[in-house]
Amino acid sequence: MEKNTVEKSGRKAIFLDRDGVLTREKSYVATRGQMEIFPYAKACIDKIKEKGYLAIVVTNQSGVARGIIAEEELVRMNRLLIERTGVDAVYYCPHYEKGIIAKYAKPCNCRKPQTGMIDAAVQKYGIDLTKSYMVGDRAADILMGQNAGVSTVLLESGYGTARLEEQVTPDYIMRDLRDLTRMLSECR
């Protein structure tokens, strides 16, 4: 009994941005055919889970509000991503204040760097944020992680550090997801 409680309140997680982390960064990926999953993604997620972390994708998909991506197709892309990489869940923010689809063209609390998606995952999985990480390729990913109180990892496999929208100070800067799993392997 006691052990269960401890596990439930203390699950650790690695939050992952999608584009530039698990898939190749392209400005808007609108269909499953355009979503190019990195060949090493599955092995990295296996390692993350083997180390006892939940692997949870948190992705801004303002293309939905902008009328570029159909939400039904995004849901299918999410299912495919889960199937192909083994991530535990995909949270997405379809909103954008200046979008053209009325339903999504509004302020929200889930668009990164806000923490709505992490908050929702914490509610569902009982995650201990002090043992968790946020991994992404953009300033908003790092700021979101800092806002939520997790360790932050900036990867150069997406837009790259040279193209950051604003100055951020991540805890780690790495080339790609494989470097993170190598670091996890070295930890007990």
**Cα–Cα distance, 128 to 161 (Å, whole number):** 28
Stretch that binds Zn ion, among 30-38, 95-103, 133-141, 169-177 (CB under 5 A): 95-103
Whether residue 176 lies in the annotated active site:
no
Q: Which pair of tokens denotes residue 119?
A: 């908050």
Taking CB under 5 A as the rule, does residue 74 contact Zn ion?
no
Q: Coil, helix or strand for 162?
A: helix
Binding to Zn ion (CB under 5 A): which residues in 7-66?
Answer: none
Closest CB to Zn ion among residues 73, 128: 73
Contact between 95 and 104 (Cβ < 8 Å): yes
Angle between helices 71-85 and 41-50 (to 10 degrees): 70
Closest CB to Zn ion among residues 95, 138: 95
Taking CB under 5 A as the rule, does residue 110 contact Zn ion?
yes
Closest CB to Zn ion among residues 37, 89: 89
Stretch that binds Zn ion, among 18-26, 88-96, 125-133, 178-186 (CB under 5 A): 88-96
Taking CB under 5 A as the rule, does residue 138 contact Zn ion?
no
Closest CB to Zn ion among residues 41, 90: 90
Taking CB under 5 A as the rule, does residue 95 contact Zn ion?
yes
Taking CB under 5 A as the rule, does residue 93 contact Zn ion?
yes
Contact between 100 and 131 (Cβ < 8 Å): no
State in angstroms the smallest separation of the CB of 6 from Zn ion: 33
Whether residue 19 lies in the annotated active site:
yes
Contact between 92 and 85 (Cβ < 8 Å): no
Which region, left, alpha or beta, applies to residue 81 given φ > 0 means left and ψ of -120 to 50 means alpha? Answer: alpha
Taking CB under 5 A as the rule, does residue 108 contact Zn ion?
yes
**Cα–Cα distance, 48 to 14 (Å, whole number):** 8
107: Cα separation from own chain's centroid? 20
Q: Enumerate binding residues for Zn ion (CB under 5 A).
A: 93, 95, 108, 110-111
Residues with catalytic roles: 17, 19
